[in-house]
């Protein structure tokens, strides 16, 4: 059972999320919050597995709330819901420690899968959002990053692991990677785990940053 705290300033939006999450047996809504400060307080009180976080809210926004929840060191992981017109917030939430990003127009099954992934300690990024995120990196990170030849962590990756890292940088899911390279998903999962371990990334989102910073991913990579 995955416990979820819903954070959104729109009552109808919270109601919709609650109805969806309560329609499946594996998730339980333990609370709701209408703004950031309430989210921080309830996350500390309820210690949900996942905080479903809106970005734009009155008072404390979702970025600052994410930063405070992550900084508290509790087990709660934050899944941010965003829209294309607030890309600048995505980068900020990433740096604040969010574990995933989905678009508000995601299909119900995508949202449920994202919640499950984040609860299990993985990270999830909508592929289309990853491309836009890379554009934001292009604006905020110096071209070329740290230089792929200079980082010893890249030298310990096998050729296949490097390919997997590039695919992660593109925002591909394990299923998409498995299909592209004609591998089983369990094999892909093993490769991904080794890649994260070797580059010192806590999750896929940090791997996306690493791939971009070291020239392995670029805007328009698909």
Residue 214: its pLDDT value, please? 82
Write down the pLDDT at residue 151. 78
Residues of the chain with pLDDT > 70: what percent?
82
Mind spelling out the 3-state secondary structure of the chain?
CEEEEEECCCHHHHHHHHHHHHCCCCEEEEEEECCHHHHHHHHHHHCCCEEEECCCCCCCCHHHHHHHHHHCCCCCEEEEEECHHHHHHHHHHHHHCCCEEEECCCCHHHHHHHHHHHHCCCCEECHHHHHHHHHHHHHHCCCCCCCHHHCHHHHCCCHHHHHHHHHHHCCCCHHHHHHHHCCCHHHHHHHHHHHHHHHCCCCHHHHHHHHHHCCCCCCCCC
Which is more confidently placed, 117 or 124? 117
Would you say residue 217 has pLDDT above 90?
no
**pTM exceeding the 0.95 threshold for the entire prediction:** no
pLDDT in tens, 47-94: 999 999 998 888 999 999 999 999 898 889 999 987 755 556 667 777
Q: How confident is the model at residue 184 (pLDDT cuts 50, 70, 90)?
A: very high
Q: What is the mean pLDDT of the chain?
A: 84
């Amino acid at each position: 059972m995955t416990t979820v705290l819903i954070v959104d300033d729109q009552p109808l939006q919270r109601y919709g999320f609650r109805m969806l999450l309560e329609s499946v047996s594996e998730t339980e809504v333990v609370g709701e919050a209408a703004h950031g400060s309430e989210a921080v307080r309830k996350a500390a009180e309820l210690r949900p597995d996942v905080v479903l976080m809106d970005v734009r809210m009155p008072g404390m926004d979702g970025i600052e709330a994410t930063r405070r929840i992550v900084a508290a060191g509790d087990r709660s992981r934050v899944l941010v819901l965003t829209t294309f017109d607030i890309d600048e917030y995505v980068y900020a939430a990433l740096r604040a420690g969010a574990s995933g990003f989905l678009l508000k127009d995601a299909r119900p099954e995508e949202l449920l899968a994202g919640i499950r992934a984040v609860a299990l300690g993985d990270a999830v990024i909508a592929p289309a959002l990853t491309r836009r995120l890379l554009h934001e990196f292009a604006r905020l990170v110096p071209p070329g990053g740290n230089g792929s030849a200079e980082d010893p962590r890249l030298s310990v990756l096998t050729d296949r692991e490097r390919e997997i890292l590039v695919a992660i940088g593109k925002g591909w899911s394990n299923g998409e990677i498995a299909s592209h390279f004609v591998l089983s998903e369990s094999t892909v999962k093993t490769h991904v785990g080794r890649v994260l371990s070797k580059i010192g990334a806590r999750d896929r989102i940090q791997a996306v940053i690493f791939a971009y910073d070291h020239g392995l991913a670029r805007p328009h990579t698909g």
